[in-house]
Amino acid sequence: MDIEKVNSMDFGEFVDVFGNVIERCPLIAAAVWSQRPFSDLEDLKKHFFAFIDALPQSGQEGILRCHPDLAGSELRRGTLTAESQREQSAAGLTSLGAEERLRLAELNAQYRARFGFPFVLAARF
């Protein structure tokens, strides 16, 4: 996608296209839209990072809380975002055996109990 197209998007289209750049946080895309025009795609990316970096720690942790557990209930229910579904599938998390799923669920629960948000890993290859 070229930057002219990005800069010409109205609010709704921009949020539709970029609303899941940060998992389930379309408000970030909404805030970044107001920073148009962007000089190039790198500039667009810098605005996303700058917005997140400017958040207090609690806001950054809130972003992490939006992420699904790896091989968790959302995967089993089929309610992952398309991006997360592709990532978890590519990482082999959709083909775990029952024992592996149980162990990962235990690890997910331990991590969440300790840190207050899910273990987040870019499971892309």
Q: Catalytic site residues? A: 67
Domain 3-64, CATH homologous superfamily name and number: Oxo-4-hydroxy-4-carboxy-5-ureidoimidazoline decarboxylase (1.10.3330.10)
How do the domains of the chain map onto residue ranges? Answer: 3-64, 68-115
pLDDT per residue as tens digits for the range 10-19: 999 999 999 9
Supply 77's token pair.
Answer: 């229910």
| Buried b / exposed e along 61-81 (16+ C-beta atoms within 10 A) | eebeeebbbbbbebbeeeebe
pLDDT per residue as tens digits for the range 32-85: 999 999 999 999 999 999 999 999 999 999 999 999 999 999 999 999 998 889
Query: Per the confidence metrics, is the pTM higher than 0.85?
Result: no
* pLDDT higher than 70, residue 93: yes
Using CA atoms, how far apart are residues 80 and 11, in angstroms rounded to an integer?
Answer: 24
Using CA atoms, how far apart are residues 96 and 103, in angstroms rounded to an integer?
Answer: 10
Supply 65's token pair.
Answer: 């809380």
- Do the Cβ atoms of 121 and 70 come closer than 8 Å? yes
